[in-house]
Structure 1
Amino acid sequence: MSATVLDEVTAIRESAAPLRSPQDLDPLVRRIGHARIVLLGEATHGTAEFYRWRAELTRRLLAERDFSFVAVEGDWPECHRVHCCAAGAPGAPNDPGQVLWGFRRWPTWLWANEEVAEFAAWLRSFNATGDGPPCGFHGLDVYSLGESLRSVLGYVRAHAPEHVGAALQAFHCFEPYGEDPRDYGVSAALVPENCREEVVRLLTALRSAAPADSVPGLDPAFVAEQNAEVVAGAERYYREMVGGGARSWNTRDTHMSDTLDRLLRAYGPHSKAVVWAHNTHVGDARATDMAAAGLLNLGQLVRERHAADGVVAVGFGTFRGSVLAADRWGGAMRRMPVEPARPGSLEGLLHDAVPGEQSLHVFGAATAWAEELREHRAIGVVHRGGGYVPTVPSARYDAFVHCDETTASTPLHQWEPEEGDEAQTYPSGV
């Protein structure tokens, strides 16, 4: 180990804060201060420790700092059912685990796992004992085209029959492509006719302000409008995906950022949000090689749009352990090994400094080591050894949680849907 590396390891060890209990998050809670948006990442989509520490911090932010809702890298309709359960909405199930078990889109283990079920049960209890509006749980992603279309059609039939025509036009436009939106993307690339006009008409028909006395996140008009926004975002996403390149990724992350903004407006001018998503989404793309490839992401957009409101991004990483993932797209989930991180990578250096420990690193004057470009591990739902993203840690994040040795999350399902029910996310299934 060179003298320079020894100096860095020493500096990391001296600035690291051990993580053993929720109270050890105090330095990060102080760093968050009055920030309006907190972005919490993960280096994989199947690591128990990442879910648990995100949940611990989120509990504190909801209870101590009056945060309004949690927004996750998940589908709007499925997450809305969790939200209704956690908010105690009339007719909703009492058990969040039951709702999460109903998640069906591959890969189900992202949200249908015991760690999320435990947090959602806590959220339901927290809401039941509070005297204000319920804290929400919402999905930001773009994939639920078919289910969102059906939800919109159901809403307009029940509440806005004057818009049934617009909803049916959009529904019938996508109907030939069945439940596989990739077919639509291919068709739209080959022929000039596509469903854009129908989607625009549908969205225009449903865009209306929710009543002033509505419960945030539960108003049927707002839910229907968001489902229409998902349809519009999915139409753009699958059309761009066929062409390859950065545009489909950028469409997806822009949709997630736009959805977050709509939620902040719905919850009111003093609302605050916690976001759970992969590091590749929450860490600022401008601090990585993503920017050179023409990619932007949620973390970058949120920082650009909400700089005056205060934004804190927290990355998560691991040196080695196990992870829940698949070896091919649409394949069966299984517990897979996470090999030791490369020497000299961010995770490798943190392991050298605090081996076997879980630690918190809040970036600032004492963390000059985080200003250097380093390899940083990223594992998607498909794991074949994992990739690395060149990263300047202190520019990508405001803080970092390192769990030196990690374990796979515990899924609620022991099976997965058939291969091909969803298109692969670009570039790495995150």
Structure 2
Amino acid sequence: MLGEATHGTHEFYSWRAALTQRLITERGFSFVGVEGDWPDCERIDHSVRMRPGAHEDPRDSLLEFERWPTWMWANEEVVDFTRWLRGHNATVDVPEQVGFHGLDVYSLWASLRELLLYLRENDPEMVPAALAAYRCFEPFTEEPQRSAPATRFAPLSCENEVVDLLVDLRERATHGAEDEFTAWQNAEIVVNAERYYRALVGGGPDAWNLRGRHMDETLARLLEHYEGRIGPGAKAVVWAHNTHVGDARGTEMAWSGEISIGRLARERYGEDRVVLAGFGTHSGTVVAGEAWGAPMAVMPLPEARKGSLEDILHLAAPPQAMFLFPADDRPDLLGHELGHRAVGVVYDPRREHRGNYVTTVLGRRYDAFYWFDESHAVSPLRTHAVDVLEPEAYPAGV
């Protein structure tokens, strides 16, 4: 699992890509799972695996990203990697081609639409059930956040409709069939997205944890699916924010009962089968928005807060470095609680020293850490439209 301290730093994206290329070519990794939406990433997956009807250039698939913040995946750094991945896949047999998949939970409406299209073509008898689920959300005009407050004042929920749909698809899904697996995954997203938006009303860690468990379960389904294709030994590279990749038990997140996919992976697979790698930077520039839905902008990333992990590494470490944390020999620094920078898609550099830091015990949170003293903004693509109704990483920004 390869992290990032921001969603808009060139070095994080380019070095994750370089590491992933080596994991694929030298260690036979099976797919990349990212902190992104399944339907959007499925278009990329079809392009890099040269599925019929897919774009020949993955860049065209990335240009179709519509939901804010588009720059998270629609950027030149991801273009370079996905073009490389398509070239790699052209040299191997179809079962060994490496996929690109979204792990996140936000694509409620897009997943519902994809389900309807699939069922109309492949299983017309199930269309009424899918339409019932779709119509349940229609009063909220594709703004699922509005369905959550409604449940506080009335017993209104779409859970029964979407769960009934999911049960049917689970029973019919065949793990070896790509289209049926995708339909099943979209149904899982609809169920968990409905629960996620309702959990936002109650506050606390429930919504965050539901999202984390959805990503963990999606990753597990993908590993099982790939093992059905290639046999035992499927392996995944995950790209997500440090707050997801790191083990939450090594941070202040654990104090409030929050989990992370890094922690869940260690618990599910065992610590000796999981590598958690964080990324960090001291200063530079970053792409972010001033508010939800605001135009993306290249912003200054000020020097890190005094006494933070980034400040200490700025004073003591080389400009670029990789740190490995052996379990039986950890320097004192790795046992200290230090502020560790975490920048989301919404960012205000003027508040840098009052927020944007997560108290962290570095040697418990990660197995490795990649350091870039000075960093630079990603290069976003100019996508055609931006939909802010279902914001990425809502409401936390990571």
With the shorter chain as reference, the TM-score category is over 0.9
Shift of 1:369: 1.9
Partner of 2:362: 393
Partner of 1:376: 340
Q: Does 1:54 align with 2:16?
A: yes
Alignment of 1:19-418 (within 5 A): 39-131=1-93, 132-208=95-171, 211=174, 214=177, 219-268=178-227, 269-307=232-270, 310-355=273-318, 357-364=319-326, 365=329, 367-385=331-349, 386=352, 387-413=356-382, 417=386
SS of structure 1 residue aligned to 2:306: coil
Shift of 1:330: 1.1
- Contact (CA 8 Å) 2:251, 2:358: kept in 1 or not? yes
Shift of 1:189: 2.3
SS of structure 2 residue aligned to 1:312: coil
Shift in alpha-carbon separation, 1:400–1:309, aligned structure 2, 3 A = closer
Shift of 1:188: 2.1
SS of structure 2 residue aligned to 1:98: helix
SS of structure 2 residue aligned to 1:40: coil
Distance (Å, rounded) in 1 between the aligned partners of 2:173 and 2:164: 19
What TM-score results when the alignment is normalised by the length of structure 2? 0.94
Distance (Å, rounded) in 1 between the aligned partners of 2:26 and 2:173: 28
Q: How far does the alpha carbon of each residue in 1:97-141 deviate from its partner, in whole angstroms, 9 at most, with x for none? A: 110011011000000000001000000000001134210100001
Q: How far does the alpha carbon of each residue in 1:208-252 deviate from its partner, in whole angstroms, 9 at most, with x for none? A: 4654754xxxx1000011000110110010000122211111111
- Contact (CA 8 Å) 1:73, 1:277: kept in 2 or not? yes
Shift of 1:90: 0.9
Q: Tell me the number of residue pairs that the alignment of Structure 1 and Structure 2 aligns.
A: 386
Counterpart code for 1:82: I
Counterpart code for 2:114: S
Shift of 1:428: 3.3
SS of structure 2 residue aligned to 1:319: strand
RMSD across aligned positions (CA): 1.6
Counterpart code for 1:196: E
Percent identical among aligned pairs is 52
Shift in alpha-carbon separation, 1:395–1:139, aligned structure 2, 3 A = same
Q: Does 1:421 align with 2:389?
A: yes
Counterpart code for 2:293: G
Shift in alpha-carbon separation, 1:137–1:287, aligned structure 2, 3 A = same
Shift in alpha-carbon separation, 1:260–1:424, aligned structure 2, 3 A = closer
Shift in alpha-carbon separation, 1:212–1:293, aligned structure 2, 3 A = closer
Shift in alpha-carbon separation, 1:271–1:321, aligned structure 2, 3 A = same
Counterpart code for 1:161: P
Distance (Å, rounded) in 2 between the aligned partners of 1:208 and 1:262: 15
Shift of 1:50: 0.1
Q: How far does the alpha carbon of each residue in 1:305-349 deviate from its partner, in whole angstroms, 9 at most, with x for none? A: 111660000000000000000111111100000100122211111
- Contact (CA 8 Å) 2:175, 2:225: kept in 1 or not? no
Distance (Å, rounded) in 2 between the aligned partners of 1:412 and 1:64: 30
Provide structure 2 residue ranges, at least 5 long, that are not aligned to the other structure.
Answer: none
Shift in alpha-carbon separation, 1:335–1:415, aligned structure 2, 3 A = farther
Distance (Å, rounded) in 2 between the aligned partners of 1:97 and 1:56: 18
Distance (Å, rounded) in 2 between the aligned partners of 1:308 and 1:322: 34
- Contact (CA 8 Å) 1:361, 1:401: kept in 2 or not? yes
Shift of 1:175: 1.4
Shift of 1:193: 2.6
SS of structure 2 residue aligned to 1:129: coil
Provide structure 1 residue ranges, at least 5 long, that are not aligned to the other structure.
Answer: 1-38
Counterpart code for 2:382: H
Q: How far does the alpha carbon of each residue in 1:134-189 deviate from its partner, in whole angstroms, 9 at most, with x for none? A: 10100001111111001101111111122112111111111111111111111122
Q: How far does the alpha carbon of each residue in 1:267-313 deviate from its partner, in whole angstroms, 9 at most, with x for none? A: 01311000000001110111111111121111111111111660000
Shift in alpha-carbon separation, 1:137–1:402, aligned structure 2, 3 A = same
